Amino acid sequence: MLAYADRISAAPGDSIAFKVSTPGIAGYRADIVRLRAPQTGRGGEGYRETEIASPASGDYPGGEQKLRLGSYIELPSLPVPLESFSLQVLAWPTLIGKQPRALLGAWSQRSKRGFGLYLDADGALALRLGDGTDVVDISTGIAVAERRWHLFSASFDAASRRIELSQCPLEDHSVHTGRAASVTRDIAILPAAPDTPLLIAAWSDASADGMAPGAHYNGKLEAPRLFAQALSREQLDQPITVEKAGKALLAAWDFSQEIGSDRIIDRGPHQLHGRTVNLPTRAVTGHNWDAAEMDWKRAPQQYGAIHFHDDDIDDARWQTSFVFMVPEDCQSGIYAARLRGEGAETHVPFFVRPPRGRRTAKVAYLAPTATYTIYANNKARFLASGTEMLRGHLLDFDVTDMQLLHHPIGLSTYCVHNDGSGVCYGTRLRPMTNFRPKGRLWNFSSDLFVVDWLEGIGCDYDVVTDDDLHREGAGLLDGYRAVLTGSHPEYVSLEMMNALEGYLKGGGRLMYLGGNGFYWRVAYHPHSDGIIEVRRAEDGTRAWHAAPGEYYMSFTGEYGGLWSRQGRSPNTLAGVGFIAQGFDASSYYRRRPESRDPRAAFIFAGIEDEILGDFGHLGGGAAGDEIDACDVSAGSPPHTLVLASSENHTNAFHMANDAVLVPNGATNALQSARIRADMVFFECPSGGAVFSTGSIAYVGSLAHNGYDNNISRLTRNVLERFLDPTPFAMPGKGG
């Protein structure tokens, strides 16, 4: 069973549309449940959910909904009858062979009508023509070079029925083996008028079932041109500008315009504007990029390319299966549509915020939905080179993991595309197999430990999300005495960062209960909260790196990469920043002398233990997975108190890439004292304060022994003081 919702956050009165696909399952039961605690064992141990009465609950018919991967450009139909014609396009192919890869044309596999320029199964430039009965394919017979710019052109003269085809590698700064090739051939047929619209990077009905576009191209394309005349090879041997195109020009698409949108602009006489489908990558370097500028906004004419992939997706575009209307009296919290049928089960989580403009509690839990979106359908955990060495143990799989491997539903930004390029766009508008309350404890499932703990200690709370914070800013948090994060709020937009800083400047209190938070800068899609962009620029612990010249995000034009490279380090906000990771076992904290500072007395009230958190569901301890350390030179406030630090990590813990300037042999926990999780506290000038744990594994210790443990007690001490309206005083200013 696969399913997703059209929104991840909703207020009372809002509706949520669920889209469900159940191949092989005739029907299913849907129920709305309130989630509390995650599954902590394979037998379902620890799991808690409560059914909520709703008109949406009931039995529904099953059925399969197809998920169509692959990006392309959708254009209008030809504006005039086309007899003779010419095509020209600049191309940087990245994955050739095995099957045809469409470039430009109006070709129908079903009707065998029209024309299409493409790379054939051998990687050579080819032209296909069909008259409705017969099909002719003409190829240069010479495979093009991958990751090299070429000029491709083709012409057809209806009077002589002659085809001319040419592929010419462009000169660049490297030595390569790309070969120029051309062919001239007379054919017996005249192509029939196309019965499909123009497409770029796909053919209209070439999917396996013939019902959707297929033959998707992998690589960059730039400056496609279409002429209503058979131009000579001499004319086509150079890129033709609009100014010199002449009266035969039908269309000249300019990808350097409106880069931040899905619109495609035609500078030709017929204004055959189009749109991208499934979000190919924009703001990428073109054939003429000379490295004089790195920002596409400053030299858009050098960023006139689009990178297409056969596994791109922005939205599954499934039909709605049922709708849940959030009741006006619905309590803020974490919910899910639970679907069951013929032994299968899945959950589609969502968050119910309080009514807009109202607070129903003094505490807000900030759900890291940006991070959930970025991690959605992460296959790198299974497929990345050396992943078992990284984790220090053999991989384990469950049924949902296997489903992800065998039923493609799009990638995460921790993956690379089929052509090896990094995935820079993440979307939640499709099934997300790792956004679930059961299975491996990571991100969403681990974060349920926080709300379970709040429920366990009897603390009322509201739930808000990254998506809400991005849209509404600091005003969303106004009035909350304390804001708690999840275990791994790694991905943050500028709007979110400004909102959190604004909240603290207004006297707010932040409890950062995780590790490796506030690390990467991201941008939300201008028209959809469900799609987020990340460019893994310069540095950082990462699954891939952005290509040269492609560090600026297409959605907003903002510089991508680490916040620490942009003057807004995690340390500045939270007092700690990412230092190391290790996934075999978690450790514990040992109290530091600063924990006995009178400023921290409230934190350790009733706690005599020196060792904190030598237990927990995440690796057996409170300090593990990805961990953060205090560093004044990296931005931690100088008055930060380091209350406790972890120790005795294994050699599977290694320092973050951005923490190592020169490669050396002392980057694991056995050899570097820098590898530790620091628990810190500091006051803010307007009466607010920050408490940070510096560890993803921390939340897994909260519920240990029925919430009766030193981690739970310490965290509760902090929360109770943060709920006290008495302002915190900056050191040296009284109090």
- In the numeric block, the tokens 């980057």 are attached to 667
pLDDT grade for 171, boundaries at 50, 70 and 90: confident
Name the region of 534 (left: φ>0; alpha: ψ -120 to 50; beta: rest): beta
Element at 520 (helix H, strand E): strand 520-525
pLDDT grade for 177, boundaries at 50, 70 and 90: low
Q: CB under 8 Å to 234, separation ≥6 — which residues?
A: none
Contact 337, 352 (CB under 8 A): no
> Mind listing the pLDDT tens digit for each residue in 235-276?
999 999 988 888 999 999 999 999 999 999 999 999 999 999
Dist CA 356 CA 123 (whole Å):
55
What amino acid occupies position 615? F
Q: How many residues are recorded in the chain?
A: 735
Longest dimension (CA), the chain: 95
Contact 187, 142 (CB under 8 A): no
The CA angle 696-552-419, to the nearest 5 degrees, is 80
The DSSP symbol for 193 reads P
The DSSP symbol for 192 reads P
| Distance spanning both ends of the chain, measured CA to CA | 58
Contact 563, 519 (CB under 8 A): yes
Q: What's the whole-number mean pLDDT along residues 626-642?
A: 98
Element at 573 (helix H, strand E): helix 570-574
pLDDT grade for 225, boundaries at 50, 70 and 90: very high
> Mind listing the pLDDT tens digit for each residue in 64-113?
999 999 999 999 999 988 999 999 999 999 999 889 999 999 999 999 99
| Residue ranges of the chain that CATH labels 2.60.40.1930 | 2-67+319-350
Q: What's the whole-number mean pLDDT along residues 352-362?
A: 96
Query: Residue 498 pLDDT > 80, yes or no?
Result: yes
Q: Check residue 58 and give its pLDDT.
A: 98
Dist CA 64 CA 20 (whole Å):
8
Contact 381, 387 (CB under 8 A): yes
Dist CA 67 CA 164 (whole Å):
38
Task: Indicate the SS3 state at residue 324.
Answer: strand
C-alpha torsion 257→258→259→262, nearest 10: -120
Mode of pairing for the β-strands spanning 344-352 and 9-10: parallel
Q: What's the whole-number mean pLDDT along residues 12-33?
A: 98
pLDDT grade for 384, boundaries at 50, 70 and 90: low
> Mind listing the pLDDT tens digit for each residue in 419-444?
999 999 999 999 999 999 998 899 99
Q: Which residue has the higher pLDDT, 666 or 61?
A: 61
Dist CA 637 CA 681 (whole Å):
10
Instruction: Place domain 2-67+319-350 in its CATH homologous superfamily.
Output: Macroglobulin (MG2) domain (2.60.40.1930)
Angstrom CA distances, 208 to 118, 205, 216, stand at 18, 9, 12
Residue spans of alpha helices (H) in 530-634? 570-574
> Mind listing the pLDDT tens digit for each residue in 551-593?
999 999 999 999 999 999 999 999 999 999 999 999 999 999 9
Which residue, among 286, 260, 176, has the nearest Cα to 549 in the 3D structure?
286
| Residue ranges of the chain that CATH labels 2.60.120.200 | 72-308
Q: Distance of alpha carbon 452 from its chain centroid, rounded? A: 27
Dist CA 527 CA 142 (whole Å):
43
Name the region of 494 (left: φ>0; alpha: ψ -120 to 50; beta: rest): alpha
- In the numeric block, the tokens 């620490």 are attached to 564
The CA angle 655-658-662, to the nearest 5 degrees, is 80
Task: Indicate the SS3 state at residue 732.
Answer: coil
pLDDT grade for 334, boundaries at 50, 70 and 90: very high
Handedness of CA 476, 478, 481, 484 (dihedral sign): positive
What fold, for 72-308? Jelly Rolls (2.60.120)
The 3 state secondary structure assigned to 118-131 is: EECCCCEEEEEEEE
Dist CA 351 CA 450 (whole Å):
14
Name the region of 452 (left: φ>0; alpha: ψ -120 to 50; beta: rest): alpha
Q: CB under 8 Å to 76, separation ≥6 — which residues?
A: 197, 198, 272, 273, 274
What amino acid occupies position 332? S
Query: Residue 313 pLDDT > 60, yes or no?
Result: yes
Structure tokens at 624: 């593990």
**Mean pLDDT of all residues in the chain?**
95
> Mind listing the pLDDT tens digit for each residue in 138-165?
999 999 999 999 999 999 999 999 999 9
Query: Residue 511 pLDDT > 60, yes or no?
Result: yes
Which residue, among 133, 134, 178, has the nearest Cα to 152 in the 3D structure?
178
Q: CB under 8 Å to 492, separation ≥6 — which residues?
A: 370, 466, 500, 517, 518, 519, 520, 521, 522, 563
Structure tokens at 721: 């003081």
Dist CA 585 CA 618 (whole Å):
8
* Percent residues over pLDDT 70 in the chain: 99
pLDDT grade for 735, boundaries at 50, 70 and 90: very low
Dist CA 379 CA 535 (whole Å):
19
Q: Determine phi and psi for 448, rounding to 5 degrees.
A: -65, -20
Task: Indicate the SS3 state at residue 117.
Answer: strand
Q: Determine phi and psi for 445, rounding to 5 degrees.
A: -65, -40
Q: Check residue 566 and give its pLDDT.
A: 96
The 3 state secondary structure assigned to 20-49 is: EECCCCCEEEEEEEEEEECCCCCCCCCCEE
Q: Check residue 394 and give its pLDDT.
A: 77
